[in-house]
C-alpha cells in the first residue's frame, strides 16, 4: 500500500529517544491506534504522563503496549510492510530479512502480527529470501516502487545476510510475487548517505509527485541526486503514464553551515503520513519555516506537525528521524480511491471530466464528485457513473476564465464504508485553474527558455525556465518530423525552475525543445544531441 493510504496503527519501539517518541505518540493517537513495543509498560506510561516534552498524555486509550524483545528504535527498517491480497481484500504483513545483525528486531513483525491477528508472510527463507529495509522503499500502491541500488548490493554476491545470490531480475521477481510491484525503479546510491536509504532524501507525496531534498548547487550529494532525478524524469513514468512532478525541499546544514560528509544528514523528506496528519522532523527555525511552508502548500488540508530532531534529542546524528522510527499498518477494510488530478486548462466551454478508480472487497455502491470554486461556500455534488472494472466518471461544469476549481471524490462500498480522496477532504482537495489565453496579459506570454546547457550534449540536458509562475509546464523534445520523442517535464516546476534529463539514449541529431503551459502559447529552442 502507499504511505498516504488509510492506516489503523502506528508502530514504534520505545528505546533511546523517549522525548521524540512521546511527541510522535501525542499526535498519532489522534489519528489511529499506536502500538508501542516495550520492555516495561509501566515505565512508558509514567513517562507519557509526566510533564516533560509537552506535558502529560492523560488519554492512553488509543495505545496498545506489546511486551516483546527488540534491539533498536528503527522500526521503519525492520517492521513488516502492509500488503493486500487482490488489491483490497485481506490485509497481510510482509517481513523481509533485516540488513543488520539484530535478531530480535527481525522477529518483532511476528510478535505484533500475532498480537493483532494479522497473517505475516516473509521473505526470510530460500528460495524466497530477500534482504531489504523499509527506509529504502517507497511505493505508490499501484505497482510502482522506488529504492536505491543498495537492494541490489545486499542481495548480490557481496551481500552479508542473503541466503540466495540474486541478480536484478531475481529481486524484481520476488517483489512482484509478494508485493505486486511490477515497476521497480532503483537509483544510484549517494556517496555521502552512509545508509543509502531513499527516505533520507526522497518521498512520494502521491502517485505523480516526488518530494526531493535539495543541496546548494554542487555540494554534498546534490550532483548525484540530480542525476538520479534526471534519469527518472527522462526514463520513467508514473502509474498514470505521465512524467513525475518534482517538488524540491532544501536540505538544512548543520549549525556551522556544513553538509554531509562534514555534518549529519539533515532532511525533511523523512516525514510520515498518519491519515490526516504528517509528522515532519525539524532542525532550526530559519530552515524549518521554509520546509513547513512547502509541505503545507503541497498537502492542503493535512495537519503538518513538526518535531525537533536536532537539539535536546539529536536523533538525526544517528542517520534517521521521524520516518525511520515509525511504521504504519494499513486498515483491514480499505476503500481504495485512485485519481490523476486534472491539470490547469484554458477550456471554458466544455465540462471537465473527472475519472477515478475505486475498489472495495464488498464492491462499490456509489461514487460522488464534489466540486466548488469557493471553498467557503461549500461543495456542489455530482453522481459518478460506473464505467466498469472499478472505473467511475463524472464532470465538473465549464467555468469562466480566472476560476480556481477545487474538488474531491467520495466512494461508498456495498458494506456501507465511506472514504474520500484526498483523505483530508473537504478540508483538503485537488485544484486546477481555468486560464484566459485570449486576454493578452503579460501572464499569457509564452514561457521563456532562459538557459539550455550543454548544447550540444551527449547525455544530460539542463533547461532553466522563466516567465511561468506557478503554471504547469510541459517540456518535450520533437524530432525533425515534429514527432514528440521524449517528455521532459509535465507539471509545476521546482523552485529553481530547472529541469535535468538524460537524453543519451536518443539518436544523434537536431531536436526541438518545446516549452508550453495551459495558459500560454509555446516557445522552442533547437538543441543538438
Q: Within 18-167, where are the H helices?
A: 18-28, 41-48, 75-78, 103-116, 150-155
C-alpha cell at 243: 512524467
Preceding amide of 146 cis, omega within 30? no
Query: For position 444, what pLDDT does the model report?
Result: 52
Confidence of residue 445 (pLDDT cuts 50, 70, 90): low
Average pLDDT estimate for 213-237: 91
CATH of domain 336-433: 2.60.40.10
- DSSP labels, 296-324: HHHSTT-EEEEEE-SSSS-GGGGS--TGG
Query: For position 518, what pLDDT does the model report?
Result: 63
> DSSP class of residue 375?
G
pTM of the predicted structure, to 2 decimals: 0.85
Helix (H, G, I), strand (E, B) or coil at 370: strand
Output the CA–CA distances (angstroms, integers) from residue 495 to 91, 130, 212, 329, 426, in the order listed: 39, 38, 12, 34, 28
- pLDDT of 53 strictly over 90: no
- pLDDT of 309 strictly over 70: yes
Scanning the structure block, which residue is given the C-alpha cell 520516518?
Answer: 323
The full set of domain ranges for the chain reads 7-330, 336-433, 444-528
pLDDT 10s digits, 377-434: 999 999 999 999 999 999 999 999 999 999 999 999 999 999 999 999 999 999 998 8
Query: For position 442, what pLDDT does the model report?
Result: 43
288 and 343 Cβ atoms separated by less than 8 Å: no
For residue 6, the number of C-alpha atoms closer than 13 Å in the C-beta half-sphere is 19
Using a 10 angstrom Cβ sphere, with 0-12 exposed, 13-18 middle and 19 or more buried, the burial of residue 225 is buried
pLDDT 10s digits, 353-385: 999 999 999 999 999 999 999 999 999 999 999
CATH of domain 7-330: 3.75.10.10
Preceding amide of 362 cis, omega within 30? no
pLDDT 10s digits, 63-93: 999 999 999 999 999 999 999 999 999 999 9
Confidence of residue 529 (pLDDT cuts 50, 70, 90): confident
Q: What is the largest CA-CA distance in the chain?
A: 73
C-alpha cell at 203: 518521498
Query: For position 343, what pLDDT does the model report?
Result: 85
The residue with greater pLDDT, 97 or 460, is 97
Query: For position 482, what pLDDT does the model report?
Result: 65
Query: For position 422, what pLDDT does the model report?
Result: 98
Rg over CA atoms, the chain: 24
Q: Give me the residues paired with residue 359 across strands.
A: 336
Average pLDDT estimate for 318-323: 96
- The 10 Å CB-count burial string (b at 16+, else e) for 464-485 is bbebbeebbbbbbbeeeeeeee
280 and 262 Cβ atoms separated by less than 8 Å: no
Q: Is there a shared CATH topology between the 7-330 domain and the 444-528 domain?
A: no
- The topology (CATH level 3) of 444-528 is Immunoglobulin-like (2.60.40)
The residue with greater pLDDT, 344 or 110, is 110
**pLDDT over 90 for what percent of the chain?**
75
Amino acid at each position: 500500500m502507499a504511505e498516504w493510504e488509510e492506516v489503523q496503527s502506528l508502530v514504534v519501539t520505545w528505546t533511546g529517544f523517549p522525548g521524540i517518541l512521546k511527541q510522535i505518540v501525542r499526535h498519532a493517537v489522534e489519528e489511529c491506534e499506536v502500538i508501542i513495543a516495550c520492555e516495561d509498560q509501566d515505565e512508558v506510561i509514567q513517562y507519557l504522563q509526566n510533564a516533560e516534552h509537552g506535558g502529560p498524555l492523560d488519554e492512553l486509550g488509543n495505545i496498545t503496549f506489546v511486551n516483546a524483545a527488540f534491539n533498536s528504535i528503527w522500526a521503519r527498517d525492520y517492521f513488516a510492510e502492509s500488503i493486500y491480497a487482490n488489491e483490497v481484500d485481506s490485509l497481510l504483513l510482509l517481513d523481509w530479512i533485516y540488513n543488520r545483525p539484530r535478531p530480535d528486531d527481525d522477529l518483532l513483525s511476528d510478535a505484533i502480527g500475532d498480537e493483532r491477528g494479522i497473517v505475516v508472510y516473509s521473505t526470510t527463507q530460500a528460495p524466497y529470501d530477500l534482504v531489504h529495509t523499509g527506509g529504502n522503499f517507497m511505493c505508490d500502491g499501484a505497482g510502482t516502487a522506488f529504492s536505491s541500488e543498495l537492494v541490489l548490493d545486499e542481495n548480490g554476491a557481496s551481500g552479508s545476510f542473503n541466503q540466495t545470490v540474486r541478480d536484478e531480475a531475481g529481486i524484481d521477481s520476488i517483489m512482484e510475487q509478494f508485493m505486486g510491484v511490477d515497476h521497480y525503479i532503483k537509483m544510484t546510491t549517494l556517496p555521502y548517505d552512509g545508509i543509502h536509504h531513499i527516505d533520507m532524501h526522497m518521498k512520494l507525496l502521491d502517485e505523480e509527485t516526488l518530494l526531493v531534498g535539495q543541496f546548494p548547487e554542487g555540494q554534498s550529494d546534490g550532483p548525484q541526486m540530480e542525476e538520479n532525478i534526471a534519469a527518472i524524469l527522462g526514463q520513467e513514468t508514473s502509474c498514470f503514464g505521465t512524467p513525475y512532478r518534482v517538488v524540491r525541499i532544501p536540505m538544512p546544514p548543520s549549525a556551522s553551515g556544513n553538509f554531509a560528509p562534514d555534518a549529519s544528514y539533515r532532511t525533511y523528506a523523512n516525514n510520515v503520513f498518519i491519515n490526516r496528519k504528517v509528522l515532519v522532523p525539524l532542525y532550526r527555525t530559519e530552515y524549518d519555516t521554509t520546509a513547513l511552508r512547502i509541505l503545507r502548500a503541497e498537502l492542503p488540508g493535512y495537519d503538518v506537525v513538526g518535531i525537533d530532531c536536532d537539539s535536546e534529542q539529536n536523533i538525526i546524528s544517528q542517520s534517521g528521524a521521524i520516518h525511520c522510527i515509525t511504521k504504519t499498518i494499513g486498515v483491514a477494510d480499505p476503500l481504495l480511491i485512485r485519481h490523476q488530478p486534472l491539470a490547469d486548462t484554458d477550456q471554458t466551454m466544455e465540462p471537465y471530466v473527472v475519472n477515478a478508480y475505486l475498489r472495495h472487497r464488498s464492491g462499490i455502491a456509489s461514487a460522488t464528485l464534489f466540486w466548488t470554486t469557493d471553498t467557503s461556500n461549500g461543495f456542489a455534488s455530482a453522481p459518478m457513473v460506473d464505467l466498469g472494472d472499478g472505473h467511475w466518471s463524472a464532470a465538473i461544469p465549464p467555468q469562466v476564465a480566472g476560476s480556481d476549481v477545487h474538488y474531491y471524490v467520495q466512494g461508498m462500498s456495498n458494506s456501507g464504508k465511506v472514504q474520500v480522496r484526498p483523505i483530508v477532504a473537504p478540508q483538503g482537495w485537488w485544484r486546477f485553474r481555468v486560464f484566459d489565453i485570449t486576454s493578452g496579459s503579460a501572464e499569457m506570454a509564452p514561457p521563456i527558455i532562459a538557459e539550455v546547457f550543454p548544447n550540444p550534449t551527449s547525455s544530460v540536458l539542463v533547461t532553466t525556465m522563466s516567465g511561468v509562475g506557478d503554471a504547469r509546464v510541459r517540456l518535450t523534445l520533437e524530432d525533425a518530423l515534429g514527432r514528440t520523442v521524449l517528455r521532459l517535464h509535465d507539471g509545476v516546476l521546482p523552485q529553481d525552475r530547472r529541469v535535468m534529463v538524460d537524453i543519451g539514449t536518443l539518436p544523434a541529431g537536431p531536436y526541438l525543445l518545446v516549452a508550453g503551459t495551459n495558459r500560454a502559447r509555446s516557445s522552442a529552442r533547437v538543441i543538438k544531441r
